[in-house]
Amino acid sequence: MTALILRDLKLAWRAGGGALTGVIFFLAVIAVVPFGVGPDLKLLAHIGPAIIWIGALLATLLGLDRLFQVDREDGSLDVILLRGDFLSLVGTCFIKCLAHWTATCLPLVVTAPSLGLFMNMDADAIVAVTLTLLVGTPALAFIGAVGAALAVSLPRGGLLISVLVLPLAIPVLIFGVSATLGAIEDPAPFTAPFLILAALTLFFAVLGPIASAAALRISTD
Amino acid sequence: MRLIAEKLGASRGGGLVFTGLSFAMNASEALVVSGPNGVGKSTLLRVLAGLLSSTEGAVRLEGGSGEALSAQCHYLGVQNAMKPVLSVSENLLFWQTFTGSSKLTVDEALAAVGLPSIGSTPFAYLSTGQKRRVAIARLLVSYRPIWLLDEPTSGLDTRAEAIFSGLLHGHLAKGGIAIAATHLPLGLVGAKELRMHAL
């Protein structure tokens, strides 16, 4: 299983792996917002956490279609599916999600603080948004894996995955942003939405691999 | 160990491909599946590997280690299941740790397929025949008793075909089972033959 993580990370960072595609897209989205919204610093600081979360969500969706498809195209998926019982396939899906998160979502979390500066966010807000992204983005990866597994046999499945995944990702976005706002604006609570965000990640960490394993089983032809 | 297929049938894209197919194989036996294009040779191999569910009948394994059938199969499909950006050794080492090890190391397996000094080359730079040989080396780096081979010798030159034939004989001599779908002679002595006909 460690071998699978290491292989996927290696593939993501080698030529054509696309680990940085998401980061560059994230950077592009956040960098154009101040130009579109205008130089109102107060407004930028207020919408900053939401914009960063939306940017991270879209950047996560961008790389999802390759999660299982690359393995299917070169025949590796067949050999991976040969492992036998359903439970070990669920484990494999969990590992794939973990590797995907480390390769494509963790760089987003790491770049989020510097992008917070674009949005005129103060130190507290930057810490809060980074923390909520760290806790919330695994949920996005686990949800995304289900869409990626369902659309694995479609050559241009990226758009379909986004449509499938977005409704499930909305709660993560809502609680991620509200926890961030709770940390910086006084009357709003932080603990409750943050715990719900953590619960969402744990919930999808169980459900996502099971659902994607089931989807992979039916999509082999 | 005994592999038994009973009245196997499968469909693809809604249409029945084959039906009522039965055979039984003992250890050290090979089966060559032949027949015209589109008759369901690859489908049969995928059903045996458990990658495709059969519409009727069943595949059973008697004896052996008691693991699930698919966990005891090596499936060599039309694609080579190798990552183009990783080197040959990295690819084989990954499959060795992922699918279980054997007595052979990666270097020994590469030497066995006649490519001893190719380990550090990225897989993408190999020729079609070399790629196929590396894919065959994957069968050697982890031991599984049943080999399911879909056109195993496509792209191989005559020397590599002879090497492959030798490896296959070695596998059978150790009590393995091999089922190959192919149009080309594999140089197997005493292999059973299953000729499939269009429905």
- Return the H-helix or E-strand segment holding A130: helix A123-150
Lowest mean pLDDT among A63-67, A216-220, B15-19: A216-220
CA angle A101, A105, A107 (to 5 degrees): 120
Give the pLDDT score at A221.
Answer: 62
Tokens of B5: 């297929």
Mean local confidence (pLDDT), B64-87: 86
Give the pLDDT score at A30.
Answer: 94
Instruction: Give the nearest chain A residue to B93 (CA atoms).
Output: A3
pLDDT band at A59 (very low <50, low <70, confident <90, very high): very high
Tokens of B39: 């008759």
- The more confident residue out of A143 and A153 is A143
Q: Assess: ipTM above 0.90.
A: no
Mean local confidence (pLDDT), B61-74: 81
Taking phi over 0 as left and psi of -120 to 50 as alpha, with beta for the rest, B187 belongs to left
pLDDT band at A105 (very low <50, low <70, confident <90, very high): very high
CA distance B94 to chain A (A): 6
Half-sphere exposure of A156 (CA within 13 A, CB side): 1
Q: Which of B68, B70, B83 sits opposite A11 (nearest CB)?
A: B83
Contact B95 A4 (CB under 8 A): no
Mutation target among A2, A9, A73, A78 for the B interface, most CBs of B within 10 A: A78
Tokens 């499945």 label which residue? A157
Q: Which of A74, A79, A221 sits opposite B99 (nearest CB)?
A: A79
Would you tell me how many other CB atoms lie within 10 Å of the CB of residue B50?
Answer: 20
Tens-place pLDDT, residues B105-142: 989 999 999 988 888 999 999 999 999 999 999 999 99
Q: Which of B51, B79, B80 sits opposite A220 (nearest CB)?
A: B51
Q: Rounded distance, CA B138 to CA B132, Å?
A: 10
Contact A79 B73 (CB under 8 A): no
Tokens 């960490």 label which residue? A205
Q: Rounded distance, CA B196 to CA A165, Å?
A: 43
CA distance A13 to chain B (A): 10
CA distance B112 to chain A (A): 22
Contact B84 A74 (CB under 8 A): yes
3-class SS at B151? coil
Closest CA to A78 of B113, B48, B3: B48
pLDDT band at A197 (very low <50, low <70, confident <90, very high): very high
Q: Rounded distance, CA A182 to CA A178, Å?
A: 6
In the beta sheet, which residues pair with residue B26?
B2
Tens-place pLDDT, residues B184-199: 877 777 788 888 888 7
Contact B80 A7 (CB under 8 A): no
The predicted model scores a pTM of 0.90
User: In chain A, what residues touch B93 (CB-CB under 8 Å)?
Assistant: 3
Tens-place pLDDT, residues A112-149: 999 999 898 999 999 999 999 999 999 999 999 999 99
- Which residues on chain A place their C-beta less than 8 Å from a C-beta of chain B? 2-4, 7, 10-11, 14-17, 73-76, 78-85, 220-221
Q: Is the minimum CB–CB distance between B192 and chain A shorter than 8 Å?
A: no
Chains A and B form CB pairs within 8 A to the count of: 73
Contact A85 B82 (CB under 8 A): no
Tokens of A24: 């560059």
Closest CA to B153 of B170, B166, B143: B166
State percent of chain A over pLDDT 90.
Answer: 60
pLDDT band at A53 (very low <50, low <70, confident <90, very high): very high
Q: Which of A4, A14, A78 sits opposite B51 (nearest CB)?
A: A78
Contact A221 B95 (CB under 8 A): no
Instruction: Give the nearest chain B residue to A10 (CA atoms).
Output: B86
Contact A78 B49 (CB under 8 A): yes
| Sign of the dihedral defined by the CA atoms of residues A128, A134, A138, A144, in that order | positive
Contact B70 A78 (CB under 8 A): no
Taking phi over 0 as left and psi of -120 to 50 as alpha, with beta for the rest, B139 belongs to alpha
User: In chain B, what residues touch A14 (CB-CB under 8 Å)?
Assistant: 85-86
- The more confident residue out of A10 and A204 is A204
Q: Do residues B115 and B146 lie in contact, with contact meaning Cβ atoms separated by under 8 Å?
A: no
User: In chain B, what residues touch A80 (CB-CB under 8 Å)?
Assistant: 98
Contacts of B124 (CB under 8 A, 6+ apart): B84, B85
User: In chain B, what residues touch A84 (CB-CB under 8 Å)?
Assistant: 67-68, 70-71
Contacts of B34 (CB under 8 A, 6+ apart): B41, B181, B182, B183, B193, B194, B195, B196
